[in-house]
Structure 1
Amino acid sequence: MAAPDTGHVIGGARVEGGGERIEVRNPATEEVIGSVPAGAPSDVDDAVAAARAAFDGWASTSLAERIAVVRRISAGIAERRDEIAATVTAEMGSPITFATKVHASVPVATSAGIADVLEGGFAWTEEIGNSLVVREPIGVVAAITPWNYPLHQIVAKVVPALAVGCTVVLKPSEVAPLTAAIFAEIVAGAGVPAGVFNLVHGTGPVVGEALAAHPDVDMVSFTGSTRAGRRVSEVAAATIKRVALELGGKSANVVLEDADLAKAVKLGVAGCFPNGGQSCNALSRMLVPESRLDEAVELAVAAAAKYTVGDPTDEATRIGPMVSAAQRDRVVDYIRKGVEEGATLVAGGPERPEGLDKGYYVRPTVFSGVTPEMTIAQEEIFGPVLSIMPYRDEDEAVRIANGTDYGLAGAVFGSEERALVVAKRLRTGQVDVNGGRFNPNAPFGGYKQSGNGREFGRHGLEEFLETKSIQR
């Protein structure tokens, strides 16, 4: 695998940046596999200036040309799918099979979906009485993206912003920045003019805060932890810029009395463990009828046993390492906290998986006897840890599901009529009913402290537009 070009990209030029570099470590081997420059506020100033200078020209480019650019970006991602998957596996530990099918393939669909929406008659204008209402690109967008889906989240922000005529400064996570370097090469190859797309590597407290505070940035689109999102909002408030936040989650899988229990548990475990549980929409709480708790636990333990932990380059591996030592330690601490607070450990545990002497590995873990006030039922763990919780009736199930600070995703299993009723009662931005498939054109985003704004499809485009009324 050839190493991608890992400098900043500012005004169409590669910029090494002065001084320190940030090492990128393979979480399976613990070896350093690359580095990126530790950006400074001066790099942010240069990138924002380049984006501002390029804005008028890009915003006035024809819609047909911007759509063609998006199509070329989508094709470029598809052409480099295997390289992208291998890079994701190397820098953040996602198993290669999952990296290929999800990390490197879903962005092809989501970017193509943006082009489809625009070609399908997106409403740029409308008439309201004597007013002509027009939608215009908001301006310079700062896109700050996480490490857990390093390409997916870049595409979710950068592509719709470019498509509607905005210019962008991207700050990828310093933990997994190598995929962003590949994306920058794809964007350049798609014919995006200099300054329209810029990339500045660095840490959140330095580069992220400089972007959020910058007076020439019109919008910040951020994905990450709720704590970090809160800080982005605080910093951005000084200049009253728009902020879109996709933050943490503590999603509930509500299994109703009339559900196919075997299917609900199997798919519920599958919704908790992919990407090592390092997904903001992971179904980390499974709510089951009290009368069926023992049966559900037995099924969950059997399902969890099939999630092999090991070398993420092995196609048979289903759970790779956590992204870093710090993340591994965080997950292990939560497992210990669950035991201390009285939850019943029925699979996995805090011990290191057998036979894995290196790497930041965690055993897939299942708890039973979890009560709503326990830490593991309230806080986002971001690891392969499932909490199974009993409920007495449907109202209690809804109360438990809604009883956290989060509201990003969820699931309901049962007869379709009952499941839809419960799905509508959940205070969360997205709900899958009976294993409903991910839709790359449907809006994704959260209620409560899971954030605000939406990504993907038409709703994702609208985030990057201003609305103007012209009276005649």
Structure 2
Amino acid sequence: MTIITLPPSCTELLLNHLGGRWTAGTGDATPLFDPVLGTELVRVDATGLDLSGGFEHTRRVGGTALRALTYRARAGLLGAIGKVLQANRDAYYEIATANSGTVKNDSAVDIDGAIYTLGTYARLGDALGDRLTLLDGDATPLAKGGAFGSQHVQVPVQGLALFINAFNFPAWGLWEKAAPALLSGVPVVVKPGTSTAWLTQRMVRDVVEAGILPPGALNIVCGSSAGLLDALRPFDVLSFTGSADTAALLRRHPAVAERSVRVNIEADSVNSAVLMPGAVPGSAAFDLLVKEVAREMTVKSGQKCTAIRRIFVPEALYDAAAEAIGARLAKTTVGNPRNEAVRMGSLVSRAQLRSVQDGLATLQQHAQTLFDGRGAALIDADPAIAACIAPVLLGTRDADGTDIVHTTEVFGPVATLLPYRDAAHARALVARGEGSLVCSLYGEDGADSAHALADTALDLAASHGRVHVITPEVATLQSGHGNVMPQSLHGGPGRAGGGEELGGLRALNFYHRRAAVQGSAAVLGGVQASA
């Protein structure tokens, strides 16, 4: 891997890109730190930006240019972006290590996942061909003989897409939203999570400087989000990833409540893993659950919105599951991601470490600590400086009476083991999460097991965006409980935000307006010919 030179302390202020130019903020910049070494890396600031003027430039210049291109041409732009990111991949890995504290495999989930998503949408968009409009179904006659009828169409929104993103996926978080937006012909403004904004800014800088996209099509604001929603107009769209509390504030903002800006929310989620009835210790399904739980607790130090937070097993297997999961977690080495002996790096900041410690302490008042890796020494890291925390497995035998474990998400390497009596009880307990991004089911091969898994999956689909079913026959093929694939839906009902992202071409729906064109057969024929 190529080693890049990281900037010395306080020497680089990351620029914002808005209104067709790179602009420095005029206020007191916020420093970003290495969460393991504690050293300052870069600074960000968005004070003094002309948001209203910059947003108007984005709509007028960037949007007009993108909408003039066909879907196939815009797909070509996505492919070109992917090549730029691939060419700079080593630099992105170095930034991720320094600013997010992630080991190489965890950085890959973010960086390579972003490149893969861009490639997927480039292929999907190319298949749409040289058209400017999408038809939504067939024409419907509204008069006898078909002389007058209706044709539904989907056209790109004539506004911008504002992304307010979380800190945990600075690469993928941008491109999983930007890929379908740009393919739809909608220009983008991204406001990354401040603590890890460096990687997002570097990617945007590389793409802008490569001259791939039309001017105004890709913009970034680093630092505070103050004023961003005030600058939104009725035909803009807003996509937010973060806490439920912040999501509630966004929904009450006049841009959404009064100007009807379309909004997509991905918020807190207390995701589940369920070992189906009939499993025994050492069986294939049992071992698959144990492996997946340990992986989901430790990948990106548990800082994934899709990570497993609750683990449901039959009552008779509670002790065996606790022992097996704990034994696997005990193999996790924690510390400086630059050390090859380390398998799990740090949280993104000391502030996030305090948040995880506080949440863990709250859960420990209601659950037993079944495994605590915090007794082991950190590798090549100072615990007084580094934002590192080892995985902790909690558990309670009173799954019905301990409500807090069903409603509290600790955004770190923490999960809770819970027993259930029968299949109906398991489903009821999972549903107490009040809507989640994903639930994974673990069962054996065979027709009877497949039938039970299918029934359970369909039942849980009402309260989840995705149900991930793992059996031995797909053990080496499955994409992972927490991995978000661009071909499948990402989002969830209820407390998960009620939003939808990705899902292949379904993602384009958010960036299009559906309308009905009514007219003569000749007019409708013209509409169909242009699509």
Bin the TM-score by the shorter chain: over 0.9
**What is the number of equivalent residue pairs in this alignment?**
466
TM-score by length of 2: 0.83
- Quote how far apart the aligned CAs of 1:213 are: 5.6
> Which residue does the alignment assign to 1:451?
497
> Which residue does the alignment assign to 1:234?
252
In structure 2, distance between residues paired with 1:48 and 1:39: 15
Contact 1:364 1:385 in 2 (8 A): yes
1:127 and 2:138 equivalent? yes
The amino acid across from 2:270 in the alignment is: K
In structure 2, distance between residues paired with 1:350 and 1:340: 18
TM-score by length of 1: 0.93
Q: 2:221 aligns with which of 197, 200, 205?
A: 200
Contact 1:348 1:365 in 2 (8 A): yes
Q: 2:114 aligns with which of 107, 115, 138?
A: 107
RMSD: 2.1
The amino acid across from 1:345 in the alignment is: T
Q: 2:464 aligns with which of 428, 435, 453?
A: 428
Gaps of 5+ in 2: 141-148, 280-284, 444-448, 520-531
Deviations 1:296-324 (A, max 9, x none): 11110011112211112234422211111
> Which residue does the alignment assign to 1:344?
368
**How has the CA–CA distance of structure 1 residues 212 and 247 changed in structure 2, closer, same or farther, with 3 Å as cutoff?**
farther
Contact 1:5 1:181 in 2 (8 A): no
> Which residue does the alignment assign to 1:302?
327
**How has the CA–CA distance of structure 1 residues 467 and 95 changed in structure 2, closer, same or farther, with 3 Å as cutoff?**
same
1:253 and 2:273 equivalent? yes
Contact 1:344 1:370 in 2 (8 A): no
Q: Secondary structure at the match of 2:102?
A: coil
The amino acid across from 2:386 in the alignment is: G
In structure 1, distance between residues paired with 2:106 and 2:377: 20
Deviations 1:292-351 (A, max 9, x none): 11111111001111221111223442221111112111111222223322x221211677
> How do 1:26-45 residues align onto structure 2 when only pairs under 5 Å count?
26-40=34-48, 42-45=49-52
Deviations 1:130-157 (A, max 9, x none): 2222211112111111110111010011
In structure 2, distance between residues paired with 1:374 and 1:348: 22
- Quote how far apart the aligned CAs of 1:5 are: 7.7
In structure 2, distance between residues paired with 1:263 and 1:166: 42
Q: 1:117 aligns with which of 124, 144, 167?
A: 124
Gaps of 5+ in 1: none
Structure possessing the higher radius of gyration over alpha carbons? 2
In structure 2, distance between residues paired with 1:98 and 1:82: 14
1:332 and 2:357 equivalent? yes
> How do 1:37-76 residues align onto structure 2 when only pairs under 5 Å count?
37-40=45-48, 42-54=49-61, 55-76=63-84
Deviations 1:74-113 (A, max 9, x none): 11222222211221221122222221x3111111111111
> Which residue does the alignment assign to 1:168?
188
- Quote how far apart the aligned CAs of 1:212 are: 5.8
Q: 1:221 aligns with which of 218, 225, 239?
A: 239
- Quote how far apart the aligned CAs of 1:254 are: 0.6
1:391 and 2:427 equivalent? no
In structure 1, distance between residues paired with 2:170 and 2:450: 35
Stretch of structure 1 that moved more, 237-246 or 88-97: 88-97
In structure 2, distance between residues paired with 1:461 and 1:445: 15
The amino acid across from 1:133 in the alignment is: H
> Which residue does the alignment assign to 2:390?
363
Contact 2:104 2:337 in 1 (8 A): yes
> Which residue does the alignment assign to 1:382?
411
Q: After the TM superposition, which parts of structure 1 deviate over 6 Å for at least 4 consecutive aligned residues? A: 349-352
In structure 2, distance between residues paired with 1:385 and 1:196: 40
- Quote how far apart the aligned CAs of 1:216 are: 6.0
